[in-house]
Copies of this chain bind each other. A is one copy, B any other.
Amino acid sequence: MKTVETVKELRSCLRPLRDRRIGLVPTMGYLHEGHVSLIRKAREECDVVVLSVFVNPLQFGPQEDFARYPRDLERDARIAEQAGVDFLFAPPVEEMYPQQPLTKVTVSQLTDRLCGASRPGHFDGVATVVAKLFHIVEPDRAYFGMKDAQQVAVVEQMVRDLHFPVTVVPCPTVREEDGLALSSRNVYLSAEERSQATVLSAGLREVAEKVKRGEMTLASQAIDYLKRRISSKPLARIDYVDVLAFPELTPVKELTGRRVIVAVAVRFGSTRLIDNIILHEKEDLPCSAR
């Protein structure tokens, strides 16, 4: 594995490999098993695997955790190499933003709800940096985790609308034994918060089961159920609980009949966690369980 810090060097590394299938796994680092699953998928499907590790200031709000977001490039490099990465691209901020950026990629509608509503400008930052990474790496395929389902929807929309020559590959959420979705932000949690945080995945799983058994059919029922369930944990403060068509992210009344996402964002202290399940028309099984 080769670690590269500049756009120029990465491009010159990739130039002789342009006829091979290149896979990109864009991350903010502090790698966990979720990232590793993306790398493994890329390794299976591609000849060359590029992992980017870049904590993108553009996608953090002024009050958010950009400064304290966990970083450990040495650890990331060990994990990446073991998982089969060929090129670890870890640019400094000045390399990605050498001057005041004036150009923004914006995806409307899809970003009006969920994390887009809670984090104004977040998805502009995501779309913009993903566009930059796509232009730098020019991958054939790019791998994203479904824990950030809205991000997947936004990136897929951007790729379609702007005709990016890239296939987006969404990959299932990876979870701890007790159901907690893996996230680099989980390290922020105190023991007590960590213990109560399982309510997100537990509540979502319960909704999926109730839908499967025909006990729950309406979006409003799922939302009410999850709000009550999550509020039963004293440290939890709900940011949103919502049910939407996926990947259109438009309101729905019914939980069945089409693909829907049940998504939650909850704060524990200063840590904001998100999780979701996709209910499928046929199977009503969470995406990550498939």
Q: Measured between alpha carbons, how far is A162 from B96 in the docked complex, in Å?
A: 9
Collect the chain B residues with CB atoms within 8 Å of residue A131's CB.
Answer: 162
A132 to chain B, nearest CB (A): 5
Q: List residues 135-178 of chain A with CB under 8 A from any CB of chain B.
A: 135-136, 138, 157-158, 160-165
Question: Does A128 lie at the interface of the complex (its beta carbon under 8 Å from any beta carbon of B)?
Answer: yes
User: How big is chain A's contact interface, by range?
Assistant: 20 to 34
Collect the chain B residues with CB atoms within 8 Å of residue A110's CB.
Answer: 102
Q: Are A162 and B108 in contact (CB under 8 A)?
A: no
Do A103 and B103 form a contact, CB below 8 Å, given A135-B164, A162-B128? no
Question: Does A36 lie at the interface of the complex (its beta carbon under 8 Å from any beta carbon of B)?
Answer: no
Q: Are B163 and A105 in contact (CB under 8 A)?
A: no
Q: Are B7 and A103 in contact (CB under 8 A)?
A: no
Question: Does A195 lie at the interface of the complex (its beta carbon under 8 Å from any beta carbon of B)?
Answer: no
Quick one: copies of this chain in the complex? Answer: 2
Do A103 and B158 form a contact, CB below 8 Å, given A11-B165, A18-B18? yes
Q: Are A104 and B106 in contact (CB under 8 A)?
A: yes
Interface centre among A101, A105, A158 (most CB of B within 10 A): A105
**Of B19, B102, B128, which contacts A109 at CB under 8 A?**
B102
Question: Does A63 lie at the interface of the complex (its beta carbon under 8 Å from any beta carbon of B)?
Answer: no
Q: Measured between alpha carbons, how far is A162 from B132 in the docked complex, in Å?
A: 5
Q: Are A104 and B99 in contact (CB under 8 A)?
A: no
**Of B102, B132, B157, B164, which contacts A102 at CB under 8 A?**
B157
A128 to chain B, nearest CB (A): 7
Question: Does A107 lie at the interface of the complex (its beta carbon under 8 Å from any beta carbon of B)?
Answer: yes
Collect the chain B residues with CB atoms within 8 Å of residue A163's CB.
Answer: 7, 132, 135-136
CB-CB nearest in chain B for A157: B102
Q: List residues 1-16 of chain A with CB under 8 A from any CB of chain B.
A: 7, 11
Q: Are A160 and B105 in contact (CB under 8 A)?
A: no
Collect the chain B residues with CB atoms within 8 Å of residue A18's CB.
Answer: 18-19
Collect the chain B residues with CB atoms within 8 Å of residue A103's CB.
Answer: 105-108, 127, 157-158, 161-162
Collect the chain B residues with CB atoms within 8 Å of residue A162's CB.
Answer: 103, 105, 128, 131-132, 135
Collect the chain B residues with CB atoms within 8 Å of residue A109's CB.
Answer: 102
Known contacts A103-B127, A103-B161, then 7 further A-B pairs from the complex at CB < 8 Å, ordered by chain A residue: A18-B19, A102-B157, A103-B106, A103-B107, A104-B105, A104-B107, A105-B106
